[in-house]
Chain A
Amino acid sequence: MSALTHTEPRGTRAWLLSDHPTSRRQARLGQSYRTWLALRGNWLAMVGLAIVLALVLVAIFAPWLAPYNPILGQDLNTARLLPPLSPGHLLGTDDLARDILSRLIYGTRLTLMVVALVAVIATPIGLLVGTTAGYFGGWVDTVLMRFTDVVLAFPRLILALAFVAALGPGIENAIIAIAITSWPPYARLARAETLTIRDSDFIAATRLQGASSVRIIWKHVVPLCMSSVIVRVTLDMAGIILTAAGLGFLGLGAQPPQPEWGAMIAGGRRFLIDQWWVATMPGIAIFIVSLGFNLLGDGLRDVLDPKGRK
């Protein structure tokens, strides 16, 4: 058909930006590409993305990047509490003569682990509760949403504190506690999305074909809610990092000698006045990483929220 070929420009870019996608995959990829183009124009978001990518890379290559062992210290007589820019110790050493830079580098692994695990645990819970409540409505909705509101009514850190107190300190329990306190907003969001999808014709059609509720929720409702929930989770990443650091600071998260940034700040507190760097450096690391997630999330929200676009 010559009528079709003359309007179709060549190239990947043109294929992605085509106004007439020929497949679902093309449409979806094109949408992502447009989002990416809009995001690329926001330099703050790009800074955020760079920070997040750097975090991932540092975590992967930590053993090669770190000049020293993060757990075992150097000579306690000569290498204790060295100031930043000392020979061989760019950011100085702590009271156990451990290289702070190396500990920060290994700490990226803990931070990433917390963020990833919380997302992996909390997102499915939120999706499950929200879509179920939204799809079935009625008393199921009332009960589930009341329960969600109860969990929301607790201040997040306090509830996490209470859970960790009950489960015992440690990074695994901190992750579980944070996950338990993070899902309610996702559930609310998923419910709201489900309500708009539930009554659409294609769901009715699927139901008429005899699909079970479980199948409809899993195959049709969940995928449609997914994208907005994922954006919301990205926006929450910085909060998760800060909560984990707060628990670490209170001695309820990662336990020594793990190089967790919040616990490192708590460890450096004793030397605050004379050896300020011990407590300050990990704080800067937390700040940069959570700023990165915030900048990226902020940019994503601007791009993806059509109401806020102007």
Chain B
Amino acid sequence: MTASTHLRGRRGALWLGKFARLLLTVAVTFFGLLLVTFLIGRIVPVDPVLAVVGDRAPKSVYDRVYLELGLDKPLWEQFWMYLQKVFTGDFGTSFLSKRPIVDDIARVFPATLELATVGIIIGTLVGVPAGIWAAVRQGKWPDQLVRVLGLVGYSAPIFWLGLVGLLVFYAKLHWVAGPGRIDIAFEYSFTPKTGLVLWDTAMQGQWAAFANAFSHIILPGSLLGYFSMAYISRMTRSFMLAELAQEYVTTARDKGVPEWRIVWVHALRNAAVPLVTVIALSYAGLLEGSVLTETVFAWPGLGQYLTNSLQNADMNAVLGGTLVIGSIFVGLNLLSDLLYNVLDPRVRRRA
């Protein structure tokens, strides 16, 4: 009795130690993120003072702002100020919208989140079964089909596929709605609460608006889904092949377990452990893909915000957006690490 509680206590300590290490890694990575964005901000040829005061300001105003921004201080001190600002949630003001960057990002982020979520759902629902199918029929035509579809996904420029998709499904066939999140006619038929249009309209029972929003999101969502599908199906295939070659699969066959159960319960349950990481990483990757997709589909999300700011040399906004996307990357990495621990009983108990 005492032995077992003692053991549990030690396991708990190991867990804590591991968690602390993980947090430390995240902290260091995040610090690095901040340093990199800060340095990028400092090598810009754009004069940060002019960006604030405009180029017709008198010398006295220029000098005052110069001192306010701390540009006379050494670089490390400027970095320290930057850190303090970031941790109080102050990313500066956008040169374009004249509003705090944080507010801007909070406004555009839900659009990106919604699009990426639709994308990852499609990618997972198609990619995982496709990968399993390819693994079970290894070397046969389904395997080749999935492989070629994946390679096409890896090879086509996403912005181009988006344009072709718009041309075919919107302009020619009229199957889906065009650019944007929702038609203007529906824009005021619901109250935006979460900023996720599908969610808001569904919660408020505005089904016509929901259908319209769905028809807008389905094309860019499927496109992002296709790209994540390419990666997810390939990884699923290789994980499943590795699992199906394991001896416990033979054991299950020895027991007379039907083949579908061997594949979908025994092997998939084991393959799921690394798959979670893959899905989390492609979710993060979709945020990156969104920069190009949102430009093509005039999707008012973080990606479009970022490109707009870039084209207008709004450096504060660019760095803020970059930092947010970088943090999401780090966050999703951490999440997948934690999930890995939950899913795999070997790691879970042993630490």
Chain A interface residues (CB < 8 Å from chain B): 146-147, 149-151, 153-159, 161-168, 238, 242, 245-246, 249-252, 262, 265, 269, 272-273, 276, 279-280, 282-283, 286-287, 290-291, 294-295, 298, 308
Contacts and interface: CB of A to CB of B under 8 A. Distances in A.
Contact of A154 (B238, B306, B322): B322
A272 B163 contact: yes
B292 A294 contact: no
Contacts of B307: 161, 250
Nearest to B330: A153
Contacts of A262: 157, 159
A150 B285 CA distance: 16
B243 interface: no
Nearest to B285: A155
B25 to A, nearest CB: 8
Contacts of B44: 165-166
A296 to B, nearest CB: 11
A4 B288 CA distance: 62
B32 A147 contact: yes
Interface of B: 25, 28-29, 32-33, 35-37, 40-41, 43-45, 147, 151-152, 154-161, 163-164, 166-167, 171, 238, 284-285, 287-288, 291-292, 295, 306-307, 310-311, 313, 315, 318-319, 321-322, 325-326, 329-330, 333
Interface of B is mostly: helix
A265 B159 contact: yes
A273 B326 CA distance: 36
A63 B46 CA distance: 39
Contacts of B287: 155
A238 to B, nearest CB: 6
Contact of A166 (B40, B154, B159, B329): B40
Given A165-B313, A165-B318, A265 B160 contact: yes
Nearest to B327: A153
A159 B322 contact: yes
Contact of B160 (A166, A167, A279): A279
B332 to A, nearest CB: 10
Nearest to A148: B32
Nearest to A274: B171
A147 B31 CA distance: 10
Nearest to A250: B307
29 contacts: A149-B29, A150-B29, A150-B33, A153-B29, A154-B326, A155-B329, A157-B288, A162-B319, A164-B310, A165-B315, A166-B40, A166-B43, A246-B159, A249-B159, A249-B292, A250-B291, A250-B292, A250-B295, A250-B311, A252-B310, A262-B157, A272-B171, A279-B160, A283-B156, A283-B161, A286-B157, A287-B155, A291-B151, A291-B155
Contacts of A158: 288, 291, 306, 321-322, 325-326
A245 B163 CA distance: 14
Nearest to B151: A294
Given A158-B326, A265-B157, 19 more contacts: A147-B32, A149-B29, A150-B33, A153-B329, A154-B326, A157-B288, A158-B291, A159-B36, A161-B318, A165-B310, A166-B41, A246-B157, A246-B292, A250-B310, A265-B159, A273-B171, A276-B167, A283-B156, A291-B151
Contacts of A147: 32
B174 to A, nearest CB: 12
A273 B159 CA distance: 16
B161 to A, nearest CB: 8
Nearest to A279: B163
B157 A294 contact: no
A155 B157 contact: no
Nearest to B41: A166
Nearest to B314: A165
B11 to A, nearest CB: 27
A153 B32 contact: yes
B318 A272 contact: no
B290 to A, nearest CB: 10
A150 B157 CA distance: 26
A61 to B, nearest CB: 24
Given A146-B32, A154-B322, A287 B40 contact: no
A248 to B, nearest CB: 10
A286 B160 contact: yes
Contacts of A162: 37, 40, 318-319, 322
Contacts of B36: 150-151, 154, 159
A157 B154 CA distance: 15
A157 B307 CA distance: 11
A228 B311 CA distance: 39
Contacts of B147: 298
Nearest to B238: A308
Contacts of A163: 40
Among A149, A159, A162, A245, which residue has the most Cβ atoms of chain B within 10 A? A162
Given A155-B329, A286-B157, A269 B45 contact: no
Contact of A295 (B37, B40, B151, B292): B151
Please give me the 3 A-B residue pairs with the lowest Cβ-Cβ distance, nearest first: A150-B32, A283-B160, A155-B288
Contacts of B151: 291, 294-295, 298
B153 to A, nearest CB: 10
Among B157, B284, B322, which residue has the most Cβ atoms of chain A within 10 A? B157
B326 A155 contact: yes
A280 B158 CA distance: 12
Nearest to A163: B40
Contacts of A165: 40, 44, 310, 313, 315, 318
A308 B147 CA distance: 15
A257 B225 CA distance: 34
Contact of B164 (A159, A242, A283, A298): A283
Nearest to B309: A165
Contact of B157 (A153, A168, A287): A287
B154 A294 contact: yes
A279 to B, nearest CB: 6
A265 B306 CA distance: 20
